[in-house]
Structure 1
Amino acid sequence: MNNSVQSIQGTFEPDFAPVVHMLQDMLQQPGQRGAALCIYQHGQRVVDVWGGVADRAGQQPWQEDTLVNIFSSGKPVLAVALLQLVGEGRLELDAPVARYWPEFAQAGKAAISVRQLLAHRSGLSALGEPLAAEALFDWQCMIAALEVQQPWWTPGAAHGYAPMTYGWLLGELIRRVDGCMPGEAIARRIARPLELEFHVGLQPAQLERVSDVSRIKNALGDEVAQRLYARMLQAKTLTGKAFTNPPSMMTSTNKLEWRVMQQPAANAHADARALAGFYNGLLQGRLLDQQLLREMQLEHSHGMDRTLLAQTRFGLGCMLEQPGLAYASYGLGPRAFGHPGAGGTLGCADPDYGLAIGFVTNSMDAYVMMDPRAQALNRCLLACL
């Protein structure tokens, strides 16, 4: 192993030095603060590096054990915890959610299946009735609101990304079937067995290792991002409510109550090693059997997304490669899968190349789906193979 790239800490195989050099160059660009990158190839860790600063003042170096909010990059981990219950015969993909959660059947939701929840096809991307800011931190309040929510479209007839409701929907299903909150299920089923620093609901000892995230000044993103942000300002639209109801959704990231709550769609805190380790565990068959892993990667939704207002493609809990679309490609091969997180985080895998990748950063860019920094690192990675 080698760690000779100046100012970047960690280890990497010499063949992958160009990727590490690219990360170092990125961290020297205006607006960039800190980041970490971990890559497995065929089960072997070949890159494990970090650099930059962890605090807003630029005084504290990013450490090996620095944690950061990974936002939606945690969604596939939540989905796998649910799919494990399917593998154990305790949950059926095509059974109605209401079989396990009777109160869910209200307001025309009796036939919505577990599969539809996983694939963003349930019509429950947002809550219609305005909620108080503090409702975000009250699990039972959010569950009660979802129980009486009508679908925004006929379930199964279309798809629309569920940025936040996904965490309560899948999380409550896990709670009903597995008898514990989703953060505990993820820790017991995934994080501890694979020795991953992946946390949904931080404990006091972990809080001091968390890096604040902040937006890069004057970042505009691309056309997809600008269209989405414009619609988000229209509070009564599906997109507006999906991202701003409760209104604390977009403003709580660095708050203590956000870090200690459990919202597995958006508030997992992890390092790059945990994200890469999760996908490596999937590819190595340590989390799901081959049939369920294939099911997870099977296309379930494809086309215009009613929430994101762009073309998306989903399996069960993961976003699938769309090679022709700059905003939606991992920069890897055609079977790549994973999930981006707000501001630039990315966890993904490419089964054809045997790659498992985790990229985390505290410098939030304005892109909605794939971040160009992560895409460039992935393209550089492929050139090294």
Structure 2
Amino acid sequence: MSNSAPAVPLDGIVDDRFAALRDAFAANLASGEELGGSICVLVDGAPVVDLWGGWSDAQRVTPWSRDTLTNVWSISKTVSSLAVLLLIDRGLVDPDQPVARYWPEFAAAGKDGVLVRHVLTHSSGVSGWEQPVTGDDILDVDAAADRLAAQAPWWPPGAASGYHLLDYGHLVHGIVRAVTGQSLGDFVAAELAGPLGADFWLGLPESEDARVSPVAPPPPSTLDIAALPPDSPAFRTLTGPPLGAEITWTRAWKAAGIGGAGGQGNARSAARLNSLIAGRGEVDGIRMLAPATVDRVFADPVEGVDLVLGIPLRWGLGWGLRHPGSTTYIPEGRIAFWGGWGGSLVTADVDRGVTFAYVMNRMSDGILASTRAVTYLQAAYAAL
């Protein structure tokens, strides 16, 4: 940072090899391109970068601290996916069996052929709620999951992917609840975040609220939803329900544990959890998944133009995989990844044993990775 730049907080650890990554983050904080955020890089589970900086609030009064949390949007999906992988690993769920085998009510309205795999690859045909539905309606996770179980699919299951924008976690919750008797949030706390010491929450207790940095909403979207055909999966998903970023500021949202979009965490906790993939099921000597279970993430992907996002995507079992037509910023190899609305990103690289995460509060437009996220990811890989 130049001497003329305002004094923006920046703290943490960074291996000398990753100085360019630190400098890129510092420059964006100094310019105001970033408000506040965190970056973490793990190599074989050990941190080589654990940075945090900027401000927790739009007024730039409270620094982003080591333990600041924020709403990580769809990075939450990677944690929900880990919950199902645990059940698969334990032999309690078979991805090639119908969802209704575990959750009988889900067979309604022609969904008896929807497989667990179809949910995890966003190809179930159930990518949102039938109207009328509001943001408040999805905060009762049990009731909102039951609504999904009752409705018909919007396209033939398995035929194509259609991004399960907000309801992914509700569908996973329905499966986890049926198999374990626990909510998805409770299962994640007991079986993933707790054992791994990851400060990640699907359902945040009020006692932790003071640590949460409210997201700064993105600029108005360039996507004209009204121009989409009203019967299209894209229109039905993006309006079922429509959601503004401001809902995440509410206590009700933070408490609900929305597994597709409501996780509260930071780069360190997102990386820690996803390093289970990069470590082929093991972190710091804690084995939670068999290597063969992790291999299933990359087997039999669903590929094609996504019916909701309208771009070519490749979906593995619970994570996105690199597609040469849309996600070329992801390096080659076996990398499971996904991002959050506004530009956050997490990648788990099985071939190199590397996990990368970037979480911030100032949202950019777009559902996939922002320019900032790509800059940081590329700097991390250049250092390797």
TM-score, scaled relative to structure 2 = 0.91
Matched, 1:376 2:375: yes
The equivalent residue for 2:169 is 167
For 1:1-385, list aligned pairs within 5 A. Answer: 7-217=9-219, 226=222, 229-231=223-225, 236=230, 237-248=232-243, 251-284=246-279, 285-286=281-282, 287-325=288-326, 328-385=327-384
Q: CA deviation at 1:133?
A: 4.3
CA contact (8 A) 2:8 2:29 kept: no
Moved more, 279-288 or 122-131: 279-288
Q: Secondary structure at 1:339's aligned position in 2?
A: strand
SS of 1:173 mapped into structure 2: helix
Tell me the CA shift for residue 241 of structure 1: 2.8
Which residues of structure 2 form unaligned runs of 5+?
Answer: 1-6, 283-287
Matched residue of 1:125: which SS? coil
User: Which stretch has the larger CA shift, 130-139 or 75-84?
Assistant: 130-139
**CA separation of 1:217/1:92 partners in 2, compared to 1, >3 Å: closer, same or farther?**
closer
Deviation of 1:235 after TM superposition, in Å, equals 8.6
Deviations 1:228-287 (A, max 9, x none): x21367593422331332345654121111111121111001011011111223333233
Instruction: Give me the whole-angstrom Cα distance separating, in 2, the residues matched to 1:281 and 1:111.
Output: 30
Relative to structure 1, the CA distance from residue 54 to residue 16 in structure 2 (aligned partners, 3 Å threshold; closer, same or farther) is same
Task: Indicate the SS of the match to 2:365.
Answer: coil
Q: Determine the C-alpha separation between the residues in 1 that align with 2:350 and 2:173.
A: 28
Q: Indicate conservation of the 8 Å contact 1:243/1:250, yes or no.
A: no
Alpha-carbon distance in 1 for matches of 2:226, 2:247: 17
Partner amino acid, structure 2, of 1:277: R
Q: What percentage of residue pairs aligned between the two structures are identical?
A: 32
In structure 1, runs of 5+ residues without a counterpart are: 221-225
Q: CA RMSD in A?
A: 2.0
2: distance between equivalents of 1:132 and 1:8?
39
- Cα 1:82–1:316 shift into 2, 3 Å: same
Q: Secondary structure at the match of 2:212?
A: coil
Q: 1:335–1:232: structure 2 CA closer, same or farther, 3 Å change rule?
A: farther
1:210 offset after TM fit, Å? 0.3
What is the aligned residue count?
Answer: 371
Q: Measure the CA separation in 1 of the matches of 2:99 and 2:56.
A: 41
Paired amino acid for 1:24? A
Aligned-partner residue type, residue 69 of structure 2 = L
Does the CA contact (< 8 Å) of 1:299 and 1:320 recur in 2? Answer: no
TM-score scaled by structure 1? 0.91
Structure 2 SS opposite 1:253 = helix
Matched to 2:225, the amino acid is: R
